[in-house]
Every structure is written in structure tokens, then in C-alpha cells.
Amino acid sequence: MPRRINITRRRLLAGAAATGLAAPSIVRAQGTGARAPLKVGVLLPRSGFEASIGQDCQRGVDIAPAILRSLGLPELTVMNADTESNVDVARQRAEKLINDGAQLLIGAFDSGQTTAIAQVAEQKGIPLVINIAAAPDITEQGYKFVFRNFPTAPMILGDAFENQMELFRIIGSAPKSVVFMHVNDTFGTAMAKGINAVMPKFNVPYKIVDEIAYDPTARDLSVEVAKAKGSNADALLLVSRLNDAMLITRELVKQRWTPQAILSMGPGWYEDQYLKTLGKLSDGPISFVPFEDPNKKLAKSLQAALAKAYPGLNLSTNHVYTFEALLIAADAYKRAGTSDPKGLADAIRTTNITDNVSIGPGIQFNAKGQNDKLKNGAIQNRGGKLATLAPKAAANAKPEWPMGSYANRT
Amino acid sequence: MAAKTSASFVDPFIRIAVSLFEDVSRQTIALLGILLASLLIVPWLVNDYLLTVLIVVLYFAFTGQAWNIMMGFAGQLSLGHAIYVGLGAYIAAVLFARFGIAPWIGFLAVIPVAAACGATIGFLAFRFRVAGVYFAILTIAFAEFARIGFDHLDYVNASAGLFLPVAQYARNDLWHLRGNPTMFYYVILAAAAFAFVVCRALLKSRIGYFWLAIREDEQAARAAGIDTFRYKMAAVMISAVITSFAGVFYAFFYNNLFPEQVFNISRSIEIILGPIIGGIGTLFGPILGAFVLTGLAELLNAAMAAIGFDLPGAKQVFYGICLLLVVVALPEGVWPWLARRIGVSESRQ
Amino acid sequence: MTALLSLKRVSKRFRGLLAVDGVSFAVSAGDLFAIIGPNGAGKTTLFNMIAGAIVPDQGSINFAGKPIGGLPADAVCRRGIARTFQIVRPFPALTVEDNVIIGALLHIRDVGKARTRAGEILRSLDLFEQRNRIAATLTLPDRKRLEVARALATEPRLLLLDEVMAGLRPTESDRMVAILRSLNRDNGLTIVLIEHVMRAVMALASNVLVLDHGIAIAQGKPEAIVRDSAVVQSYLGAEPV
Amino acid sequence: MPIDVYLNVAVAGILTGLVYGLMALGLSVIFGVVRVVNFAHGEMMSIAMYLTVLLFSGLHLDPLVMLVPIAAVLFVFGYALQAGLINPFISRPEHSQFLLLVALALIIVNALLILFGPDARTVQTSYAFDSFQWGALIVDATKLYAGAAAIIAAALLFAFFRFAPVGKAIRACADNYTGALVVGLDVKRLYALTFGIGAACVGAAGVMMTLIVDVTPMIGPAYTLLAFVIVITGGLGSMAGALLGGLLIGVTEALAGLLFTPSAKSMFAFAILVLVLLFRPQGILGKRSI
């Protein structure tokens, strides 16, 4: 805590310099021994408007060390930094972490903050493993030290339609028309832009009768839902966030409309808080999202670790991919046998982890640093738990279709 | 004859240069010299992290100086300066990303747009007698318009964000603003120094006196024959154009733009905190304010890291408390207080 | 000789109240013209219309042969009419010198030359010693003179003074009278003043206009005005000389 | 689009607008009297919202029962804030007041983040999902209750300023500061009272708002801005104006969302604000002040 507030410029610089300059020497001292823990800087938006997600991701970080140890992977020293949901702070924190000796960076959920960090990482030659960020551009910039183990918006869309088609085959029916509602933020817009390009590649049986974009800071979605209801579509196709997913559900109940299905292609509808807050009303929606494969061994141990550390919490996408980023780091460190950033980056490039948590064949990166093998799952809310419906390899339940009327639940 | 013409051509510039430093006390010149010299050699002394912090400091010193023209000189409270940053950022970035046009040329395109935007807001406000808090809200409204508008503007990729191609770090390309932090540091240092000199020149010129008159008492200024509408318009437009350069810098430094980030009200607030804390209407105020605020934020981070206290939000609470204490204890800002302490006189303008 | 300033049937209404009702008068160049009348007679409203702070509802105002009624205040000032305010309004946070420089800059574009000019004016009004003080810290008489100085710096042909003597002690008031007389006689400046202090009016004015309830009830030489029965009844009766 | 959709949306807009109006009323009262622009208004509301959530989850008290006690708590908060911190700032320039309240807002937002965590909190009453149906018109029950409570609270406030001696004194203070001093009113206390009353308004609005929206620590700034838009549209300092502004903005946003893309609906609120500023700078029901 600052003792006094009237700090002169000189004293301020001196103070900052003292904290800043001391760090690199520690790195050099530790960097020589291969067995020393790898210093991993984790940048997450833990305050500001993305605090909720950032702090959820952080849980994935907190439960990771024990699991990694049990896998026989080398120790990691995690250095946490808060980006405050702000691009410039993200950049400054990244510089600070590297300065304090971080040998690898992980972050940062938000595409803007991630890009700002990516530049620092690239410039310093420190590998960055992106936990979550869907903007396609990030891995199209020619970065050499930036890796992303998360699907891009077009990948998410492609898988969503593939899984929907599989679902419709299993059920033997499909909606004829949908209304497409999406939040007008970075992710929502990227998805909305991608949909026209991706959808024609699949023989999707329904037509989009209306597209409704809404404000990410919307306080009230009654108009949006009334408009959707007025379009008389069979089902709702959505890209939303947690808070608006809850708002939309409430409005559906109050406006007495239960669509045949709620098909979500983003966060919100399967998240823990959604299930907890809405109780019985949370049942039914199907989410087509990057998710865990519940049949994988590591997924089970991650679930167990989470249940122990945060009882009552369901595993979320945030936990899964943040954990996997640390997994990638530890794995690369083990194989590289050095904390030299260049060596680490080369090791990451040749990553081939098949025993992972998320759906799909495993973790590999293409030349651009993107894991293009990632697969989404289709998951449905059932009695406060999540059931995986597709793809076949990860499925553990049959779909409930059409969803039960909201009117009969209370 | 030739010598004489060239002398008479150079003469006004010399006179301007001299007039910039006449009636400046020796301490002030010494202070300025020390400040500039230490800022110039800084890249050799500090690591990249501190350099980034200093870039942020100078960025806010620059925008604070530009904002101060409107508020500190002409007395018009703008809470929507993010609009000029955003316009500068988007125009320069789009020109570069789509047509490969260098940001310096891009800035030439930014100037008329920023000036026109400032002129529009100014014209509406001053013609329709929107003043004080109402003017402040009007400026917010325009920044919000821009935010929502850009959120829907497909040409700049709407809210999905605009990304600049990756910077080549191997060499510093000043012309295309691609390079390492040291290059960006000198760019923003030059900009901040330029803004300082321009502001001082403006303040000591006829227009500066007229602005001060308007700030002090608009009706009395009119009675003294000052066409207040015209000079207020000039203040908005000059401030807008200078601020818009900060946007160009922002776009090329961070390499990505999201309307939600650049046009956000919190951006406008960040811009004005420095000059208010430092001392409104003074030339050193915005610089000092930027140092104090960014330094404070980093210091709090470092202090919390040192004691191993990792609680999201705690830093902001302490930061808020510090702001509160400063504004309660030093109503005129830190600089006028400090200037009295160290015996440097900057007349209370 | 044509008048420098002439008003014809000028009226102004505020909500229901007719503040100035068809007032006409003329001021010739070189005149020292006083407007007197009880409180609320419409004197300041009349001033504000001449100076451009208020637009008249009816009537015409001509200055140097051209209509100025309805022009904004700054345009009126640039035509050559400077004013002071009843409640003084120097630029409070600026120095005395800067206050006057601002006035001088209206016609002198160069700041250095404006400063020289401001110095001359401040000297003539005994304010030069105080030039580096902040205006807000001056005493009331000094602030009143500062306002006159700022007005003079705009190089007016006509000076409108709104109760510059009010609140001054007799010695200070005498000093002001001397300054105004010198400006009028030595520099040929035309002055129109609103005044309550009759002693000053009698000492200074060459012509007097008496306003009552917005109507001009008398006009003439000061000696004649004092004898006018209507004036005595409405005004002087209440407040003997 | 069937006509009943318009009807439903318009009614929802009116009800939400009423609650917005009540929130903005607090801002208007404070500005009208104290002449301080409360840039921490939305943040103060989020305090009330968290209090509601706490009491609801702890004691299972219905939010509508908590209306008066929470308004009272906020009154005390507002009173103390004005008396302790803001009072010296009354004569300071706007930017100085602005900074003070922005700092306060920053502290509130982040203190709430530390205390309650980042996740959205909600109050799930037994009637949270009720709605009334009359033919094609479906009205959200919580919005109806909140709207009704907003009208009652506003009516009480009007009565207070019209009939209570203290209310009249405050009005006198607002009309003529020096006059109030001359007749011996304790202006400082009246200012603190006014700030308290404004805070109580926003407290009551916060309680009702929890029926309609979930609360997060970051919710404040958006509501501060919204309150500004409403109050300036309606007329800063005018109580009826705040309610009218709330209705106008509520209905405008609702219909704009229906007719155009909902993601741009707040643009229409700002458009109304700009038009009002240009053609009636004092706001629709405001008095022209100097």
C-alpha cells in the first residue's frame, strides 16, 4: 500500500526501476538448470467487464499443478497477472511478466488483449499459448511464437452445423426455420460474419428467417425476444454470453414461448451459473461448443480436481482450455528439456498430446500455430448436469427433443 | 538582397522560437532541459517493461495536453475525446491494412476528418448554446454514436475487430510505424514534446489570450470584442486534430482495434484524469498528471505483487482512494502545488 | 452634426414587463452623456441593447451612421463601443496585465505590442504597479478601474460605463471622475454612463437622460434637469442630491 | 410483424422506463438542489442491488418489502457522503466534482467485485417468471410491480417537496441559494438531506431493478450514463422531467429495437438526447437556468 500519495517523479521512477531491474538476474540464475520449474505468466481479465470469465479461467489454472504433477510433467511456477479487461494494461502486464522472468505466457480470453500480448511475446521471442480467443485473425498474422489451442469462429461454426446434422439424423426430424440471435460483440460478430460462408457447405434443413443482433451490455432483452417470437420460427439459433442467456431464458418464460429447440453456438447456455440460477428452467438448450470429452481419462481427473477445489461447480470451457494451455506448456518443457524460449517454441510446434481433455484427436499445431484438429461437442442441459450428445465418440446421452415447455416446469 | 530575403523568411520563426522561452524563469528552463534530457536517454537506462510504461505515460501526457486546449485554455469540458482517438486510429489503420498507406500519410487523411468531427460537435453545441454539463454530455453522446456506429460498420470489421498485419521487429520502419518499443517511445516522446511546444505557443499567442478570456467569463469576453464562437470552434478543432494523432499511434502500437475498446467512455475519462490531477490549464500539469497516474498504477501493482496480495479489483480500489485524496487535498492539481514548493513560477493560467 | 449614437423608439419587454418603452435619444461625438433614473427604470437594459447583449424588440439603434441593433456583443465592440458591467466582471484568474492585454489584442495582433499598449493604459489608470496581481485579489475600486482599462484597450469611440462609481468612497469616486474627464477632454472619447451618484453626474455630464419605468421622462443639460419638476418628483424627490 | 408485438413491446418499454425514471429522479433531485453532478449514480444503485440480493438470499425477504429499509440505508449513505466528502466540492468547478465522483465510482465498482465476486447475482422471487395475459397483451409481472412501485415512490417524493416543510425548504434552497442563507436555512444540512433523498431514490430504484435484471459489479457505469441521458432529456432538476425522460427513453429503445437492429437501439436514445439538447437545451420540462 502506498504510504503517501505525493510521489515525486524521480522517486517513482527509482521505485519502479528497482522492482523492474532486479528480476532478470533471477531468471539467469534459474534458467540454467533444466529441472528448475518453468516460469509461466498467466494473463487473464480478472477485473473489469470480463472479470467473471477471467476469474473462471483462473480456476483452471489453480487446479492444474497437482494434475500435471500426477502426469509426471515438470513443475511450473505460475505468475498471475490481471489484464483488467483492458488492452493497454494487458500489454504492460505482459512486458512486466517477461521482465520478471516469465519464460512462457498464457492468456488472455479476449481477442484484443490477446493480440496486444501476442506482439510482446513475438517481439521478445517468448512463446504465448492462447487459452481462449476465437478471432481468426490472430493466427493469420505470421507469428512464430504464438500458439492457439482453441477453435476459431469458422471452426466453431463448421462443427456446430456438423453436429446439428448428426443430431437431426438421430432424432429423425429437424426445425424448418430458425431465428438467429447474436450478441454484437467481438465473438458474436465474428460468428455472424462466418455463418453465411459456412452454412451453405452443410445441407442444413432450416432457413434463417430473421437475424437479431443485440447489444452486449443490454439490460433488457424483452424486445429482442418479442421480435424473435413474432418471427414464428420453429427454433432459436444463438450466439450469446452468460448474462444475456439468462435474460433471454427469462423472457422466453414470461412471454410464454417455448421454441422447438434452443441451439446455442457460444457460451452462456451450458455454463454453471446458468444451470444454478435458472434451475428447472435451464433444462433443454443444446450448446454446440468447444468442450471436454467426458469419456477421456484426463477429463475425469480434471473434473475430480475441480470438484475437490470448488465443490458444486461444473467443468466449463474456461477451465478446460486454460488447463490445456498449461498442459501444453508443461509438455513442451518436458520435451524441450530447456527453458530457452526458442527451444520451448520449437517443442510446442511439435506438440502431439492425445491424452487431453477437450473433444477431438488431441493437441497439435499447424504451421500457423493453430490447433486445427479441435472438435466441438453438442451438449444438452439435463437436470442441472450436462449431457454430451455429439460427436459420436464423445457422446454419453441421447437428445431430448423437442425441449419441454417452460409452462409445465414450475 | 538574397541574404536579406532569407533572413526575413527565417526571422518570424526565430522570433517565435525566442518568444516561446521569453518570460520563462531560469528554473523552468532548467527543469525542462533536465526532463527532456532524461527522457531522451531513458531507452538506454531502463528495460522494455519500464519503457512500455513510459510510452503509456507519454501517450497520456500527449492526449492530456490536447484535451487541455479545450478545457484548460478555452473552458469547454469535453468528456468524449475518445471519439477523436478512435477516428484517428481507425482511419489510419484501415488505410494501412487495406491500401498499404503509411500512417504519416494516413494522418493527413485523419486531420480533416477529426477537424470536421470537432467542428460538427462544436457548431451544434455553440450555436445552440449547449454549455457546461450539457456540453459534456453532448460530447459523450457523440462518442457513443461513434462506438455504436463502428460496432456496425462492416468495412472496418464492425465489433469483430480490426487487426493490423504483424509488426516486423527485425528492423524499425519509422515510416510505417513498425518496430520495437524504443522506436514507439521516441515517436510518442516527439509527439508529446511537440504538443507541449504547440500548447505553449498557442497559450502565449493572441488566440491563447482569447481562450483564457472565454474560459474566465464568456460574456465579458464578448464585451471585449472576442468572437467567442469562432475561437471556441478553433479550440475544439485544434484539440480534435492533435488528439487524433494519439489514435494513429494507438492503432499501430497495439495492432488491433475494437470499437468497444477505443470509443469507450472509460477511454475519454483516462484522457482527462491526467490534466485534472496534474493541474488544469497549466502546461506541465498534463505531463505530471500522466506520470503520477500511470506511475501510481504500476506502483500499486508492484507493491501488491511484493506482498503477494493477488486480489482482483484491490488495485483499482487503492487507485480510486489515491485519486480521491489528491483531488481533496490539491484542488488545483499537483503541478501548481509542486511548482510553489520548488519555486518554479508558472502563472496561474 | 450627425449623432455618434442614436436610438429611435427602442423597446424591450421581459415576460409581462415593459422594461424599456420607446426610448429615443442621441449622443454626439465628444459628448459625456449620463443616464439616470431610479432602480428598475430600465437603464441597464438600455445599455445591454446598445452593447448587443440583448436584442431590442422594437426600434433602431445607430452607431456612426450604421444600424447596430441586434448585432452580437462582440461585433458591437469591434464597431467601437466598449462597456463595463454593473457588477464587475474582470477575468478573475488572470493577472491585471493579461486582462488588459486581452482587450488590446482586439486591434493589435502582436502580443508584445498589445502588452506595451496595456502598460500605457494601466499607467494612465494608476494600475501599473498592480499589473502582475491576479484580478480576483484586487479591491473593488481597483477592479472597477481594471474594467475601464480593459474596455479602453479595445480602442473604443464610445465607452458605456454602468455605475462605475457605485460602491466607491468619495475620494475614489473623485479619482474616477478625474480619469473620465481626462479621457473625454484630452482623448475626445465619447462616454455614456449610467450613474446613481448625482454628484459625479453633475460634475461630469454635458447631457442627461432621465428614465423612469422604462420611459424617458426628461433630457437636457444637467442644470436644467435638476430643475425639472417631473424629475424631481419621480426621482430626485426620493433621493435628494 | 403482427401488431400485438408492437403493443407488447411498447408496454414493456413504458414499464422499464418508469423504473429508469425513478433511478434518474435521484440524479435530478441532487443536481436540481446541490448542483453537483453525481457521476457515481449507477454505482450507488448497484450497492442497493447487492443489498437486496444479500437480504433476499440471507433472510428470504421479498424485494418489495425491502424497498423502504434499503432506501433508508442509501439515504444515510448519501447524507454521509454529502456531509463528509462532497460538501467542500460544491463551489469547485465541474471537472473537480467529476473527478471526485469518478474516483468514488471506481472504488464502489471494485469494492463490490472484491466483496461479491464477478458473477451475476440474482433475486429469484416466487413471481419472478409470472406474466399476465389479456388477449394478445402479455405483461411481465415483475416489471408491472416495479413500474407501480416507481410511480408510488415518485408520488411520495412529489408530495414531500410540495407539502413537507423540509421539502419546501429544500426547494427554496434550490431556487435561491443566497436567499435561503439570508432567511436562516441551514443550507449545508439541507444539501446533505437532498443528497440523501436522491440516494434513497436510487436505492428504491435499485431494489426494483433487481427484479428485472441480474446484478454484477460492473453494472454501475452503464446506468450512470443512462441516468444522465434520461435526466438531460427530461430536464435536469425537474422531477416530472426525469420520469418523462425515463418513459421516453424506455419506449424509444423498445420500439427502435423492434423496428431497427436491437444492437443499435441505444443510439436512438442518444439521438433523442442530442435533439433535445439542440432544440431545448434545458430539457423537455426543465427550467432555463443561467
Shortest Cα distance, chain D CAs vs residue B265, angstroms: 9
Q: Which domain holds residue B101?
A: 27-342
The answer to whether residues A249 and A394 belong to one domain is yes
Q: What is the pLDDT of residue A281?
A: 92
Mean pLDDT along residues A166-175: 92
Say whether C102 and B212 touch across the interface (CB within 8 A).
yes
Most confident by average pLDDT, B65-69, C65-69, C131-135, D131-135: B65-69
Ranking A256-260, A274-278, C222-226, D261-265 by mean pLDDT, the lowest is: C222-226
Name the band, by pLDDT with cuts 50, 70 and 90, for residue B244: very high
Chain B residues in contact with A141 by the CB 8 A cut-off are 163, 165-166
Shortest Cα distance, chain A CAs vs residue B239, angstroms: 23
Say whether B209 and C111 touch across the interface (CB within 8 A).
yes
Which residue in D103, D113, D266 is closest to B324 by CB distance?
D103
| pLDDT, chain B, mean | 88
The answer to whether residues A20 and A97 belong to one domain is yes
Name the band, by pLDDT with cuts 50, 70 and 90, for residue B12: low
Mean pLDDT along residues D242-247: 91
DSSP code for A141: S
Q: Determine the Cα–Cα distance for residues A199 and C82; give it in Å rounded to an integer.
A: 75
Say whether B47 and A141 touch across the interface (CB within 8 A).
no
The answer to whether residues A36 and A141 belong to one domain is yes
pLDDT exceeds 80 at position B9: no
pLDDT exceeds 80 at position D22: yes
C165, three cell numbers: 462609481
Of B317, B321, B322, which to mutate for an interface test with D (greatest number of D Cβ within 10 Å)?
Answer: B317
Chain B residues in contact with D96 by the CB 8 A cut-off are 276, 327, 331
Say whether B224 and C85 touch across the interface (CB within 8 A).
no
Q: Determine the Cα–Cα distance for residues B343 and D95; give it in Å rounded to an integer.
A: 27
The answer to whether residues A286 and A391 belong to one domain is yes
Helix axes B334-342, B285-306, angle to 10 degrees: 100
Q: What is the pLDDT of residue A12?
A: 38
B52, three cell numbers: 512500455
DSSP A179-200: EEEEE-SHHHHHHHHHHHHHGG
Residue bearing cell 454446440? A288
Residue C93's identity, in one-letter code, is A
Q: What is the pLDDT of residue D44?
A: 94
3-state DSSP of chain D: CCHHHHHHHHHHHHHHHHHHHHHHHHHHHHHHHHCCCCCCHHHHHHHHHHHHHHHHHHHCCCHHHHHHHHHHHHHHHHHHHHHHHHHHHCCCCHHHHHHHHHHHHHHHHHHHHHHHCCCCECCCCCCCCCEEEECCEEEEHHHHHHHHHHHHHHHHHHHHHHHCHHHHHHHHHHHCHHHHHHCCCCHHHHHHHHHHHHHHHHHHHHHHHHHHCCECHHHHHHHHHHHHHHHHHHCCCCHHHHHHHHHHHHHHHHHHHHHCCHHHHHHHHHHHHHHHHHHCCCCCCCCCCC
- pLDDT tens sequence across D39-64: 999 999 999 999 999 999 888 888 88
What radius of gyration, in Å, describes the C-alpha atoms of chain B?
21
Give the SS3 label for residue A134.
coil
pLDDT exceeds 60 at position A24: no
pLDDT exceeds 90 at position B54: yes
Locate the chain D residue with the closest alpha carbon to B135: D277
Examine residue B17 and state whether it is found in any structural domain, yes or no. no
The answer to whether residues A99 and A17 belong to one domain is yes
Work out the number of other CB atoms within 10 angstroms of the CB of residue A378: 26
Name the band, by pLDDT with cuts 50, 70 and 90, for residue B216: very high
List the subunits that have 3+ CB pairs under 8 angstroms with C.
Answer: B
- pLDDT tens sequence across B155-197: 988 888 898 877 666 678 888 888 888 999 999 999 999 999 9
The answer to whether residues A187 and A279 belong to one domain is yes
Question: What was the ipTM of the complex prediction?
Answer: 0.89
pLDDT exceeds 70 at position A6: no
Count A/D contacts: CB-CB distance under 8 Å. 106
Query: B and C: touch, per 3+ CB pairs < 8 A?
Result: yes
Chain B residues in contact with D38 by the CB 8 A cut-off are none
User: Which residue ranges form the domains of chain D, and what is each CATH number?
Assistant: 3-279 (1.10.3470)
Chain A residues in contact with D264 by the CB 8 A cut-off are 215
> What predicted TM-score, i.e. pTM, was given to this entire model?
0.90
Examine residue B192 and state whether it is found in any structural domain, yes or no. yes
Angle at alpha carbon of residue B279, lines to B278 and B283, rounded to 5°: 90
E strand segments, A269-360 = 286-290
Chain C residues in contact with B204 by the CB 8 A cut-off are 111
- pLDDT tens sequence across A323-370: 999 999 999 999 998 889 999 999 999 999 988 998 888 999 999 999
Say whether D254 and A217 touch across the interface (CB within 8 A).
no
Examine residue A304 and state whether it is found in any structural domain, yes or no. yes
Locate the chain D residue with the closest alpha carbon to A409: D129
CB of B280 within 8 Å of a chain D CB? The answer is yes
Q: What is the pLDDT of residue B22?
A: 62
Number of domains making up chain A? 2
Residue numbers of B between 157 and 196 with CB closer than 8 Å to A: 157-161, 163, 165-167, 169, 180-181
Name the band, by pLDDT with cuts 50, 70 and 90, for residue A22: very low
- pLDDT tens sequence across D75-121: 999 999 999 999 888 888 888 898 999 999 999 999 999 999 998 88
Shortest Cα distance, chain B CAs vs residue C91, angstroms: 5
Which residue in B77, B137, B265 is closest to D95 by CB distance?
B77
Examine residue A366 and state whether it is found in any structural domain, yes or no. yes
A325 near A114, Cβ under 8 Å? no
Q: Determine the Cα–Cα distance for residues A239 and A226; give it in Å rounded to an integer.
A: 17
Give burial (CB, 10 Å; 0-12/13-18/19+) of B205. Answer: middle
| pLDDT, chain D, mean | 88
Say whether D122 and A218 touch across the interface (CB within 8 A).
no
State the number of CA atoms in the 13 A half-sphere of C167 facing the CB. 13
Mean pLDDT along residues B319-340: 90
Q: Determine the Cα–Cα distance for residues A320 and D148; give it in Å rounded to an integer.
A: 46
Which residue in B169, B313, B318 is closest to A123 by CB distance?
B169
Say whether B258 and A216 touch across the interface (CB within 8 A).
no
Examine residue B187 and state whether it is found in any structural domain, yes or no. yes
The answer to whether residues A58 and A142 belong to one domain is yes
Mean pLDDT along residues A245-269: 92
Shortest Cα distance, chain B CAs vs residue A322, angstroms: 18
Q: What is the pLDDT of residue B345?
A: 63
Residues of chain C with pLDDT under 70: 1, 229, 232-241
The answer to whether residues A303 and A286 belong to one domain is no
Closest C-alpha to A265, from A366, A372, A107, A377: A377
Q: Determine the Cα–Cα distance for residues C187 and C184; give it in Å rounded to an integer.
A: 6
> Please, what sign has the CA dihedral across residues A13, A18, A21, A23?
negative
Examine residue A213 and state whether it is found in any structural domain, yes or no. yes
The answer to whether residues A279 and A211 belong to one domain is yes
CB of B347 within 8 Å of a chain C CB? The answer is yes
Locate the chain B residue with the closest alpha carbon to C87: B220
Work out the number of other CB atoms within 10 angstroms of the CB of residue B202: 17
Closest C-alpha to C63, from C76, C54, C72, C74: C76
Closest C-alpha to B132, from B80, B83, B75: B75
Examine residue B211 and state whether it is found in any structural domain, yes or no. yes
Name the band, by pLDDT with cuts 50, 70 and 90, for residue A14: very low
pLDDT exceeds 70 at position A2: no
pLDDT exceeds 90 at position B107: yes
Which has more pLDDT, D181 or A245?
A: A245
User: Which residue ranges form the domains of chain C, and what is each CATH number?
Assistant: 1-79+158-165+188-241 (3.40.50.300), 81-155 (no CATH)
Closest C-alpha to A115, from A94, A96, A100, A99: A94
Number of residues written out for chain A? 410
The answer to whether residues A59 and A21 belong to one domain is yes
The answer to whether residues A393 and A285 belong to one domain is yes
CATH number of A353's domain: 3.40.50.2300
Work out the number of other CB atoms within 10 angstroms of the CB of residue A6: 15
Name the band, by pLDDT with cuts 50, 70 and 90, for residue D177: confident
Examine residue A361 and state whether it is found in any structural domain, yes or no. yes
Q: Which domain holds residue A340?
A: 9-150+295-375
Number of domains making up chain B? 1
CB of A89 within 8 Å of a chain D CB? The answer is no
Locate the chain B residue with the closest alpha carbon to D283: B134
Alpha-carbon dihedral angle through residues A180, A185, A189, A190, given to the nearest 10 degrees: -130
The answer to whether residues A326 and A384 belong to one domain is no
